[in-house]
Amino acid sequence: MNLFLDYQKKIFKSLKLLEKRKKIKFPPKIQNFNVDLPPKNQKAHLACNAAMILAKYNNISPNILAETLKKHLLFTFKEFSTIEIAGPGFLNISFNSLFWKRYLEKIIKLKNKYGFYKSNKKKYNIEFVSANPTGPLHVGHCRGAVLGDTLSNLLAFNGNIITKEYYVNDYGGQIKIFVDSIYHRILEILNKTPFPENKNLYHGDYIIDIAKNIIKKKNIKNYKNYKKIYNKLMLASLKLSMNIIIGNLNLLGIKHNNFVYESNLIKKKCVLKTIKKLKKKNYIYEGKLSPPKGEQTQEWKTRKQLLFKSTIFGDDTDRSLQKADGTWTYFAADMAYHSDKISRKYDVLINILGADHAGYIKRIVSATKAISDNKINLLCKVSQLVKLYKKGLPFKMSKRKGDYITVEDIIKEVGTDSVRFMMLNRSSDVELDFDFEKVTEKSKENPVFYIQYAYARVNSIFRLLNLKLDDKIKIDQRDLDLNEYEIEILKKISEWPKCVEISSTKLEPHRIPFYLYELVTLFHSYWNLGSANEEFRFIINNKVKSNLRLVILQALALVIKNGMLILGVSTPKSM
């Protein structure tokens, strides 16, 4: 139920009838016209550029042709009250009140399906967070986590099948350092052995917590022979660390459907199988790489190694698959992981990457194309850095968990709703300034509060009238007058399906908080008019001024609710 798309099709079809009557001519390749909102300084409800598109082909000025189109459209569409010709030939269309009544009734009937973007139903695998399982999530992970979860909610809202996935990098050097750190903390607790002053070890208090937990469980009896107990200690440490990470995600309201462990892929020899598969396709060869740009030539050791032909798919250079010691590179393991995802028959793969992984996109997209024979689309979204501020200055918290600010820290400071909303308040590909003062104040400057407050205000009206927000309210046919402020709110409500469509097709969920803020700004402005002018009050002497006005509020609340559900942010009924 996209008002603009619906009338784009209707107007196009209607004007094609004029072509059949030899009144106008259509260019051979034209598919449609633009139908959108007019500029804010104009009161019309739709703007169409049909006259401007057709004028040159018909050898006539856009304004003269617009007059012909105006007469035809007013005759054809009884719901059009007026059409004004603006600027170089825009058709500015206004609906009558009866149209808005029927439109509102459709919205209320659709409920949480209003805004549903109908497209081919697809299976998505959305991989996000995937932080190393060596400690709590930090504020940088937080933004990518919220982006991935909200994108999942958005695509699920449109009827797609979503798998939210976490790839656990539990294999390699960083895991050994992590387990070493816990082992030394265990020795410190049990034997008073000083913890090594080694910068490569993890020093956060959470390492001590994990060590204490392992000691308490008593699954390992003797800690003298580190090599002998390493595997058992590693499994216990990883399990406890992942429990911390899952707990952090739960604080954000995030639950993954699937956890894939790199170690399992290694055990199943998935890397080797993927390499063999790509060798058969002639995408892997033995060769030598030139030094990376900016690298000192004398420090670069040229060696013969196994390489993937990623340049065939647009990458800057071919990529190494084995280290000097013969073990697989991170990229080789990642290829195996994406091969595993492809084997699970998804239509679309989406990876949410951190700011430091932007340069990694070309190679992994190249690998996915090679593995799937260009049949699977991998889309990568980069989540840029978050900078914390308080009183205009960079803000540093206690950082008890290590040398970074954790998700738990930031949620304790401002709450889940504020964190989730503000992490989406800018496009993910630009850095985000997170101002603690702004997200805790109760004013228009705090967008999450402003939107929640609008929803609470609507609920307060219905409570005063002893009504429920989902009660069926009949609109009197004699009471269809709409003032200019109500029209502006209705126009904005009508944009919701378009917002969902663009957010979905572009994978840009940050458009939703922007839209919601603009919507509630119109509502709050209208509400404030009532304090000075009784005409604009929703309730007078405990009676509703207009049932039509009440239904507008129902539609407004419904859109706020749907939008905030996608964002994963609550809508309290009172504040």
The SS3 assignment for 348 reads: strand
Q: Is 130 helix (H, G, I), strand (E, B) or coil?
A: coil
* pLDDT above 90 for 340: yes
Tens-place pLDDT, residues 223-234: 999 999 999 999
Closest CA to 386 of 343, 428, 418: 428
Report pLDDT for 478.
73
Residue 293 neighbours by CB distance under 10 Å: 7
Encode pLDDT of 144-203 as tens digits.
999 999 999 999 999 999 999 999 999 888 999 999 999 999 999 999 999 998 778 998
Of 78, 74, 126, whose CA–CA distance to 98 is shortest? 78
Strand stretches in 450-541, DSSP E = 539-540
* Distance (Å, whole) CA 90 – CA 33: 11
Is the alpha carbon torsion for 62, 63, 64, 68 positive or negative? Answer: positive
| Domains recognised in the chain with CATH numbers | 3-95 (3.30.1360.70), 173-251 (no CATH), 447-567 (1.10.730.10)
Residues found in the chain: 575
Which DSSP state fits 376? S
Question: How much is the mean pLDDT over the chain?
Answer: 91
* Residue range 301-325: mean pLDDT, rounded: 88
Residue 214: C-alpha distances to residues 209, 238, 371 (Å): 9, 11, 41
Query: Of the ranges 263-267, 325-329, 364-368, 426-430, which one carries the lowest mean pLDDT score?
Result: 325-329
Asked if residue 101 lies in contact with residue 369, where contact means CB atoms within 8 angstroms, the answer is: no
pLDDT of residue 435: 87
pLDDT digits (tens, 9 = 90+) for 341-385: 999 999 999 999 998 888 899 999 999 999 999 999 899 999 998
pLDDT at 402: 58
Cα–Cα distances in angstroms (integers) from residue 557 to residues 267, 442, 456, in the given order: 52, 20, 9
Amino acid at 235: L
Q: Which amino acid is at 407?
A: V
Q: Would you state the pLDDT for residue 298?
A: 58
Whole-prediction pTM:
0.90
Residue of 240, 196, 248 whose CA lies nearest to 215:
240
Band (pLDDT 50/70/90 cuts) for residue 289 is: confident
Is the per-residue pLDDT at 399 higher than 50?
no
What distance in Å separates the CA atoms of residue 283 and residue 287, rounded to the nearest whole number?
Answer: 12
